[in-house]
Structure 1
Amino acid sequence: MTDNSSCHTPDGAGGTDGRSGEVTTTYKVTGMTCGHCEGAVSSELGELAGVSAVQAVAASGLVTVTSKAPLDEEAVRAAVDEAGYELVGQAG
């Protein structure tokens, strides 16, 4: 039997990139309306320790974050708040 417990965050959201072992988690963010918004959110989240990639899409309000380990949701919330937007939570 294979232990796949490291493939998901405790609530089942997110997963690992099979090639790199990194964790990818998608969050719902409100208030983004344009490319500038996407850049602001991406910039703030990109400064969190362990984050290697961020993709924000204003049209859907989804932000996908790739990191070395699962991120603390309060740290994500603070970064999104600093950018001027609101974190709803993990998309799922």
Structure 2
Amino acid sequence: MAENGSCCTPEGSCHSGGTDVQVGEVTTTYRVTGMTCGHCEGAVSSEIGEIAGVSSVRAVAASGLVTVTSKTPLDDEVVRAAVDEAGYELVGQATA
């Protein structure tokens, strides 16, 4: 977390946008309700990013989608707890 208490970095970035997927990693997209802005994206990304094995998180408030790349499949309840901690609601995995 940035020193000013915000989830955003001093440069104004509010989420990790890594897109480099390593061989053997799993990418899962979740639907999250309540996100409305970059701050929301950052809060959700920060909490999910703390889950063991997560290598990248990309939250998009406009669509309500959060894409998570991890070394192994994540337990949905662990992801739900992280989203709840950020102050939002995990609806579930998004379907294609």
Q: TM-score, normalised by structure 1?
A: 0.80
Total equivalences in the alignment: 76
Where does residue 91 of structure 2 map in the other structure? 88
Q: Identity of paired residues, percent? A: 84
Partner secondary structure for residue 20 of structure 1: coil
Do structure 1's residue 62 and structure 2's residue 46 form an aligned pair? Answer: no
Amino acid at match of 1:59: A
Residues 34 and 71 of structure 1: CA distance in aligned 2, closer, same or farther (over 3 Å): same
Q: Where do residues 43-62 of structure 1 align in structure 2 (5 Å cutoff)?
A: 43-62=46-65
The structural deviation recorded for 1:40 is: 0.1
Deviation at 1:20, TM superposition (A): 1.4
Q: What are structure 2's unaligned runs of at least 5 residues? A: 1-19
Structure 1: tracts of 5 or more residues without a match:
1-16
1:41-71 CA distances to partner (integer Å, 9 max, x unpaired)?
0000000000000000000000000000000
Structural mapping, 1:1-92, within 5 Å: 19-92=22-95
Q: Structure 1 segments of 4 or more deviating over 6 A? A: none
Q: Which has the larger radius of gyration?
A: 1
